[in-house]
Amino acid sequence: MTTPDPWNAVLVAREDLGPRLAVFRVRPDTGAVADFEPGQFVQIGLPMDASTPLQGPGAARPGRVRMHKRSYSIASAPVSRAEVELYVARVDSGRFTPILWAMRPGDRLWLDPEPKGFFTLARVPAERDLVLVATGTGLAPYVSMLRHHAGSERWRRAVVIHGVRRPDELGYRAELAARAARDPHFAYVPVVSRPEPADAWKGLTGRVQVALEPDRLRALGVELDPARTHVFLCGNPEMIRDVRALLEPLGYRPDALETPGSLHFEKYW
Ligand SMILES: Cc1cc2nc3c(=O)[nH]c(=O)nc-3n(C[C@H](O)[C@H](O)[C@H](O)COP(=O)(O)OP(=O)(O)OC[C@H]3O[C@@H](n4cnc5c(N)ncnc54)[C@H](O)[C@@H]3O)c2cc1C
Ligand SMILES: NC(=O)c1ccc[n+]([C@@H]2O[C@H](COP(=O)([O-])OP(=O)(O)OC[C@H]3O[C@@H](n4cnc5c(N)ncnc54)[C@H](OP(=O)(O)O)[C@@H]3O)[C@@H](O)[C@H]2O)c1
């Protein structure tokens, strides 16, 4: 008698951007990821024990395979639904990501068939400005939004502010810089908090807050005015707490089902 295989997807590709950052592409066996809104996330599941075989009889009994699940924002756009692209940081002390890092193309895993989440543009009216703030891999949902809306008609201006420790952690830098060079409605502001002299970093130094200074935003054509500009915050919860504290005195309120607001956030932990 055969039992159902809990693994319903395959890792088709991984691109390591360094020792602790990678882009993973996961393809569901059904051939298509369910439709999703840019900004949503999926869960993936892996066996809790790295020695559990991912294929064959040991992996074939859901009751005996103890699965770990974690959530990841989708970086790909809904137009390319054969696979999902995920941008992931390895947490050395973590329970999940060290097992994910051992995976190679062809390995099997579980992919939640239903993408989820409310960190999307669904409740942002057209003709607004967007300030999209990320730390680390919190950039992923914005990559999906930008890829999906290839032109500028979904917003008036969009600014991505990406905070990382070192310049080599600026994932998607080439893609975002190329878009900024050709799209007058888009600006990309990388911010590095711990550059080393060898990095020869010439951009903004510090935390994302330096890029939110009113004069700097004004120079990019954007005002921190909740009537005109929606702000999205994604990644480190301390960044979200601190940037909220900066924005709330300006009249920003979190967007909620009953009480629409211009502030949206997604905490990764
Ligand atoms: C809605 C949602 C979407 C998410 N999307 C992403 C994503 O697109 N990419 C991604 O890398 N992670 C994302 N995460 C975090 C992810 O789900 C895991 O928590 C993360 O991969 C760590 O898992 P772990 O078991 O290895 O570490 P855990 O044992 O769960 O350790 C958690 C600790 O690791 C650190 N940590 C967790 N996530 C990150 C991170 N992304 N970058 C740096 N440090 C981190 C924090 O200190 C946290 O306390 C998301 C979380 C949520 C809730
Ligand atoms: N990045 C690495 O090189 C590295 C290497 C090994 C291990 N780790 C571990 O991995 C974990 C996550 O590291 P990470 O670099 O991916 O994510 P992170 O700690 O969230 O840092 C990403 C960016 O967010 C900034 N940040 C932190 N708190 C903030 C706040 N309150 N407001 C605004 N910005 C804020 C950081 O600035 P600051 O630099 O000023 O904090 C950094 O620029 C940590 O536990 C770390 O010890 C990281």
Evaluate whether 135 touches 236 at the Cβ level (below 8 Å): yes
Structure tokens at 106: 């062809």
Least confident residue range of 39-53, 68-82, 245-259: 39-53
Token reading at 162 = 């990406």
Kindly report, residue by residue over 22-32, the tens digit of the pLDDT. Answer: 999 999 999 99
From the list 190, 183, 176, 263, the residue with the least C-alpha distance to 226 is: 263
Q: Does ligand 1 lie within 6 Å of residue 135's CB atom?
A: no
The residue contributing the CA closest to ligand 2 atom 38 is 193
**Residue 119 lies inside a defined structural domain of this protein:** no
Local confidence band at 47 (pLDDT 50, 70, 90 cut-offs): confident
89 lines ligand 2 (CB under 6 A): yes
% of the chain surpassing 70 pLDDT: 91
Whether 180 and 217 share a structural domain: yes
* Residue 120 CB–ligand 2 contact under 6 Å: no
Ligand 2 mutation target, pool 207, 213, 267, most atoms within 8 A of CB:
207
Work out how many domains the chain is built from and give that number.
2
Q: What pLDDT does 88 receive?
A: 98
**In this structure, are 186 and 215 located in the same domain?**
yes
Q: Give the ligand at the shortest distance from the Cα of 168.
A: 2
Q: If you take atom 33 of ligand 2, which residue's CA is the nearest one?
A: 239
Q: What is the pLDDT of residue 60?
A: 42
Statement: residue 62 has pLDDT above 80: no
What confidence score (pLDDT) does residue 49 get? 67
> Residue 138 maps to which CATH number?
3.40.50.80
**Local confidence band at 58 (pLDDT 50, 70, 90 cut-offs):** very low
pLDDT value at 70 more than 70: yes
Residues 99 and 141 in one domain: no
Is residue 213 predicted with pLDDT exceeding 70?
yes
Same domain, 75 and 159: no
Residues 87 and 207 occupy one common structural domain? no
Residues 141, 197 within the same domain: yes
Residue 158 in any domain: the answer is yes
For residue 223, tell me if it sits in a domain.
yes
Q: Is pLDDT of 97 > 70?
A: yes
Query: What separation in Å is there between the alpha carbon of 246 and the centre of ligand 2?
Result: 19
pTM: 0.94
CA of 132 to the centre of ligand 2 (A): 18
The pLDDT, as a whole number, for residue 256 is 95
Cα dist. 199→164, 166, 207 in Å?
13, 8, 17
Helix residue spans in 123-248 (DSSP H): 140-148, 173-182, 214-219, 237-247
Q: Give domain status of residue 92, yes or no.
A: yes
Lowest mean pLDDT across 1-5, 127-131, 160-164: 1-5
Which of residues 79, 111, 143 is at a domain's end? 111
Domain extent for 167: 129-267
